[in-house]
């Protein structure tokens, strides 16, 4: 294991009063004794510790620990603390996973340690890892009267913003590792950080803010520039409003299927095989033209001019009146027909949300209360949230880079890696850390092209050798999470562990479709290669269902 991580947070936020000195460990502890054991950690409260047998929700016998650290009174008058759950398997494999959670955080998701392989039953706990999970420093249920905006009320407290962005992990991780090592009476052999979406962002952030904390990080579809992506939400809603007064009806499923089919017609065989997967995405961006779907006088199999313009505008990404880019462009890909794309962008299918898309009901208050400086209060009912996005001014309301006396860190500062504009990750590289990043090309929340841009800069700043410590994979057709017309089941975590512990650098990943994939039934028993960026899986002849018939070029 690399050198023990030292907490480098400013003195006002330091929690650790003592540190472990090499092999100076006590004997193992009993689960029941953890609530009264003195770990010498200021502000640590272990509320409960119970022995959990193997059962329906427990894949391994373990000690379940619940507690919190860093309780305080916030500037907004509310009480804050970092609540956590730590699971300690009886038959421990000597390893540790920090489970980075997604969305607005705000709740302690069970510390099972998803391994991002589209199989919930195969998790870190089932593999005998110790696992910690937290609420990132705020309780998302503390404001039940605020509707969908309740989970972002923490944005009115500057320290809660910082905790959400990065410092909750920095504060909690040494606490969790000290408990783990005290419980088992020995050092952790290897530590991993794993997460998707906002959790993937946590991974990228920690690689720059705590570069020695994790031997390996697995980051799935990361919200790299999350405040900028939130600006896209307003851009999308306004684009759909130009098509229909009811934004949920701007495009029907048939309309989006029409676009997906057109993308396939133009791009499917660019990788050498028409199989329903657009593997050569770079060439597709140059080949596909959405204007080809504009209605003519004699055709019903088309889109209106307003629909074509809306999709063109959305894929180009938001700009202000001076034409300055506010986020990123987006890839044309078959996954636009995926249910995940529709639910986030157009129609959630939830009566509770008035069928409004998730970018409105879940994203608008984040833009207003967390990613605006100073924060802006907004109603928590669906109509108020969508109206906030409809009225958003891209010249005057974009304050993601602003700071104030009360909120000295801008949203971009507390939400992104420290070197996001010019990434090098030198400290993580020099510490020997390894990272795998993957992103679906049809992610409707965070643009895969933005992640590609980040990786290309990272590679250039490392002399073309970023793959020595960061491997990046794009997943054609995949939406925000597993789903869509994609081969989206693959064992990236296994590849990461092999790299960290055995020095075997990953090459391609073998991917399959998730069970009962409705978009690619013909590939139900097929395998495909996910090639490390910028290589593309090209068909070279042979069995069309076998990944060995493809070569990464």
Catalytic residue among 134, 167, 197, 348: 197
Q: Identify the bridge partners of residue 52 per DSSP, sorted by sequence position.
A: 62
Residue spans of alpha helices (H) in 185-294: 198-209, 226-241, 253-267, 281-287
Among 24, 535, 23, 522, which Cα is nearest to 275's? 522
Q: 540 φ, ψ to 5°?
A: -120, 10
75 dihedral zone (left: phi>0; alpha: psi -120 to 50; beta): alpha
**Residue in 443, 450, 459, 488 annotated catalytic:** 443
Residue 351 CB: number of other CB atoms within 10 A? 7
Q: Is 35 exposed, middle or buried (0-12, 13-18, 19+ CB in 10 A)?
A: middle
Across-strand partners of 107? none
Q: Which residues lie closer than 8 Å to 155 by C-beta, 6 or more apart?
A: 161, 366, 368, 369, 370, 375
At 360 the three-state DSSP class reads helix
Q: What region does 483 belong to: left with phi over 0, alpha with psi -120 to 50, or beta?
A: left
Say if residue 457 is exposed, middle or buried (CB neighbours under 10 Å; 0-12, 13-18, 19+): middle
Note if 197 is an active site residue.
yes
Distances (CA, A) of 140 to 109, 148, 369, 375, 464: 12, 10, 13, 17, 42
Catalytic (active site) residue 252: no
Phi-psi region of 221 (alpha: psi -120 to 50; beta: other; left: phi over 0): left
Euclidean distance between CA atoms 411 and 402, whole angstroms: 8
Helix axes 305-316, 226-241, angle to 10 degrees: 170
The answer to whether 72 touches 45, Cβ cutoff 8 Å, is: no
Contact 400, 411 (CB under 8 A): yes
Alpha helix locations (H) across 391-476? 411-415, 426-430, 448-461
From the list 134, 480, 488, 547, the catalytic residue is 480
Alpha carbon separation from 455 to 88, 350, 437 (Å, rounded): 35, 36, 9
DSSP SS3 for 538:
strand
Dihedral (CA of 257, 260, 265, 269) sign: negative
Residues 382 and 410 sit within 8 Å (Cβ to Cβ): no
Beta bridge partners, 220, equal 196, 438
Consecutive H or E run containing 351: none
Cβ atoms of 456 and 521 closer than 8 Å = no
Distance CA 164, CA 386 (A): 24
Question: Annotated catalytic, 443?
Answer: yes
Catalytic residues: 197, 443, 480
């Amino acid at each position: 294991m690399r050198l023990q991580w030292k907490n480098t947070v400013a003195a006002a936020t330091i929690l650790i009063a003592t540190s472990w000195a090499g092999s100076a460990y006590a004997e193992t502890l009993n689960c029941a004794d953890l609530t009264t054991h003195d770990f010498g950690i200021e502000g640590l409260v272990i509320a409960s510790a119970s022995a959990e047998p193997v059962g329906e929700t427990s894949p391994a016998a373990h000690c379940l620990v619940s507690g919190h650290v860093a309780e305080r009174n916030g500037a907004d008058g509310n009480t804050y603390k970092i609540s956590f759950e730590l699971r300690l398997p009886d038959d421990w494999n000597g390893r540790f996973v920090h489970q980075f959670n997604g969305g607005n955080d705000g709740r302690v998701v069970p510390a099972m340690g998803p391994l991002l392989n589209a199989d919930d039953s195969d998790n870190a706990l089932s593999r005998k890892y110790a696992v910690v999970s937290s609420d990132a420093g705020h309780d998302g249920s503390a404001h039940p009267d605020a509707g969908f905006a309740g989970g972002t009320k923490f944005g009115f407290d500057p320290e809660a913003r910082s905790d959400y962005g990065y410092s909750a992990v920095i504060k909690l991780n040494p606490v969790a590792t000290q408990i783990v090592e005290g419980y088992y009476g020995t050092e952790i052999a290897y530590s991993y950080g794993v997460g998707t979406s906002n959790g993937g962002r946590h991974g990228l952030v920690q690689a720059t803010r705590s570069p020695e904390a994790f031997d390996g990080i697995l980051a799935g579809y990361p919200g790299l520039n999350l405040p900028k992506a939130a600006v896209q939400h307003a851009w999308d809603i306004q684009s759909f409003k130009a098509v229909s007064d009811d934004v949920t009806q701007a495009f029907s499923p048939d309309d989006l299927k029409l676009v997906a089919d057109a993308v396939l017609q133009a791009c499917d065989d660019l990788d050498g095989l028409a199989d329903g997967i657009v593997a050569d995405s770079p060439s597709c961006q140059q080949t596909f033209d959405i204007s080809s779907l504009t209605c003519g006088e004699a055709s019903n199999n088309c889109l209106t001019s307003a629909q074509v313009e809306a999709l063109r505008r959305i894929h180009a990404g938001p700009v202000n009146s001076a034409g300055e880019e506010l986020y990123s462009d987006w890839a044309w890909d078959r996954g636009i027909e995926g249910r995940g794309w529709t639910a986030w962008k157009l129609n959630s299918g939830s009566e509770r949300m008035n069928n409004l898309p998730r970018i409105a009901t879940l994203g608008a208050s984040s833009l207003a209360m967390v990613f605006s400086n100073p924060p802006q209060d907004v109603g928590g009912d669906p109509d108020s949230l969508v109206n906030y996005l409809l009225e958003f001014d891209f010249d005057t309301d974009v304050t993601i880079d602003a700071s104030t006396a009360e909120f000295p860190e801008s949203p971009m500062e507390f939400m992104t890696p420290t070197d996001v504009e010019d990434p090098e990750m030198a400290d993580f590289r020099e510490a020997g850390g390894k990272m795998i990043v993957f992103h679906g090309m049809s992610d409707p929340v965070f643009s895969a092209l933005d992640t590609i841009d980040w990786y290309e800069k990272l590679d250039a700043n490392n002399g073309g050798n970023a793959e020595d410590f960061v491997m990046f994979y794009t997943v054609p057709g995949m939406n925000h999470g597993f789903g869509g017309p994609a081969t989206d089941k693959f064992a990236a975590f296994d590849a990461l562990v092999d790299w960290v512990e055995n020095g075997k650098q990953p090459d391609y990943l073998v991917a399959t479709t998730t069970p009962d994939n409705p978009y690619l039934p013909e590939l139900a028993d097929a395998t495909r290669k996910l090639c490390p960026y910028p290589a593309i899986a090209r068909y070279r002849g042979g069995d069309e269902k076998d990944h060995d018939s493809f070569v990464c070029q």
